[in-house]
Amino acid sequence: MGASISVAVIQAAFGEDLAQNIATVERLTRVAAAQGAQLVLPPELFQGPYFCKTQDEAVFAQAWPADAHPCVTALAPLAKELGVVIPVSIFEKDGPHYFNSVVMLDADGSVLGTYRKSHIPDGPGYQEKFYFRPGDTGFKVWATAHGRVGVGICWDQWFPEAARVMTLQGAELLLYPTAIGSEPQDANLETSARWRRAMQGHAVSNVIPVAAANRVGTEDGQRFYGTSFICDHTGEVQADMDREEEGVRVWQFNRADVEQDRAAWGFFRDRRTDLYVDYFKPA
């Protein structure tokens, strides 16, 4: 494991053709790897359009078991070929249960495990509770070939508890695959800036780099606003994309520098868990 970690985010539009969507991610993963990326993050549910805008029973047929999902079986050989780590976002079927999940592929193509989205939104344009059970895996951090990586999925990225728990578990980097854009109930509601600021706050408070990959394009009137980015452990954006472009961004950080800064700032030294515990008991 080297002194540095190089991470890439993929931003693209996705349509109805599963094979074409996988090909898009494969092509852009190759671009990222050619630029030195060791971890490559595609957007959330890139297998097709973001189907959670409405409630449609037919969509359940698009779910697969994690180990047999076409996105996983197609990208595992690519991860091995390129020597890159790929968190693969999927619609997972586990018996009668359905989850919004990430399968973590290590740099040798092996499956390190599955994370199931913990926080499930339910609102106009994002009716995920119809499709997904709340995740039952807990928050996950994987010891990959290129570093310890924590992954949350979209709505997870708004919750400081998730970022803190993954950092406490030893994550060196937080990754958030995302599908977010316009709000159907309010054409004047623009969330892209606060979306970024929430994750930049996680970076500052945990002294950890953060990367988020979003989709672009318009799907049935819902416009996804891209703005995928990578920020350093101070919350400063080091690489980003606009609201429409497709492609990749790559950024590298030194793991020892981050670890030293985290120790020096003392956030984890000065935590008062004895004062917090009563506020985190189940209601």
Q: How many CA atoms lie within 13 A of 140 on its CB side?
A: 23
Q: Which amino acid is at 3?
A: A
Q: Residue 99: enclosing H or E segment and its boundaries?
A: strand 97-105
Residue 173 and residue 85 in contact, taking contact as beta carbons nearer than 8 Å: no
Active-site option among 52, 92, 117, 128: 117
- Distance separating the N- and C-terminal Cα atoms of the chain: 43
Can you tell me the distance from the alpha carbon of 23 to that of 33, in angstroms, rounded to the nearest whole number? 15
Active site residue 281: no
Can you tell me the distance from the alpha carbon of 177 to that of 61, in angstroms, rounded to the nearest whole number? 22
Active-site option among 71, 154, 172, 231: 154
Can you tell me the distance from the alpha carbon of 168 to that of 141, in angstroms, rounded to the nearest whole number? 10
What the block records as the tokens of 43 is 């957007």
Active-site option among 44, 92, 172, 219: 44
Q: Say how many C-beta atoms besides its own lie within 10 A of residue 250's C-beta.
A: 21
Can you tell me the distance from the alpha carbon of 115 to that of 151, in angstroms, rounded to the nearest whole number? 8
Q: Residue 262: enclosing H or E segment and its boundaries?
A: helix 255-265
Give the catalytic positions in this structure.
Answer: 44, 117, 154
